[in-house]
Structures are given as structure tokens and as C-alpha cells.
Amino acid sequence: MPHKTSVSIPWRLKGGRYTFTGSECKKCEKAYFPGRTYCPDCHENMTDKKFSGNGTILTFTENHMAPAGFEKYVPYFMAIIQLDKGPMIAGHVVGDTTNIAIGKKVKPVFRKLFEDGDEGLIHYGMKFELV
């Protein structure tokens, strides 16, 4: 069963989870998602940067086993996605995945991520669909 959370945790994570807001270094212009406070390379302050969420699949896997609480979602696809003008991120690919392949374009979609039991919070966030 997934860990039960309070309302305040999703609220604090809403920038990255709902709008693809990460960060970019003021000096070396490296982009990060999720966001960081300081650049790990040049140690400069970061600025917020909103990524489009559109990207390209670099690699993917089809999962037939899931962690506790997610068994009803198998099989499902996870991918490493190179965001357009942004960093690489991991994401869940949903929708019609019959033509999933390396190099395919994806777009972000707002979906339910999980729920804390039958009477708990429902957590929403971004997943990806093939374009």
C-alpha cells in the first residue's frame, strides 16, 4: 500500500508535478528537473524554468510487476524522455502504447498518479502520451 501523505506535501511539489517547473543555472545554463537551489557544477544560484513537457523517448521498458498498491496498472510503460530544450526525465507513458518506440515524440497529459487507499487523497500529476 502506498504511503499516506498529508495535503501539504503535494502542495509543496505542485510546481514540478503540475507544470514541469524545474531550474536553470544562471551561469552555465544547465537545466534540471526537478528544480534545484544551486548548480552542482558551478555552484551558482538557479532560476525557475518552465519546460513544455514535450520530448522524445530515448529508451523505455514494459513493466509486468508493480510495487504494492499499483498491481491493477500492469502492464505499464516507463520511459526516459529527453525534454525539448530541457533535461532527461523518467516518465510513465499512457494511452495507446501499441506503437511505442525509441525516437517517438511524446506530450504531457494530466492524469491520476495514485490514491492513498479507498478513502485517502487522490494524487494527480503529469504522464506522457505518444504524439
Q: Which tens digits make up the pLDDT trace of 15-53?
A: 566 778 889 998 999 999 888 899 999 999 999 999 999
Buried b (16+ CB within 10 A) or exposed e, 43-82: eeebeebebebbbbbeebeeeeeeeeeeeeeeebbebbbe
Count of residues making up the chain: 131
Q: 80 in a domain, yes or no?
A: yes
Q: 1 in a domain, yes or no?
A: no
Q: 2 in a domain, yes or no?
A: no
Q: 102: domain range?
A: 8-130
> For strand 46-50 and strand 76-83, is the pairing parallel, antiparallel, or unpaired?
unpaired
Contact between residue 30 and residue 60 where contact means Cβ atoms under 8 Å apart: no
Using alpha carbons, select from 87, 17, 81, 14 the residue that is nearest to residue 46: 87
User: Does the pTM exceed 0.95?
Assistant: no
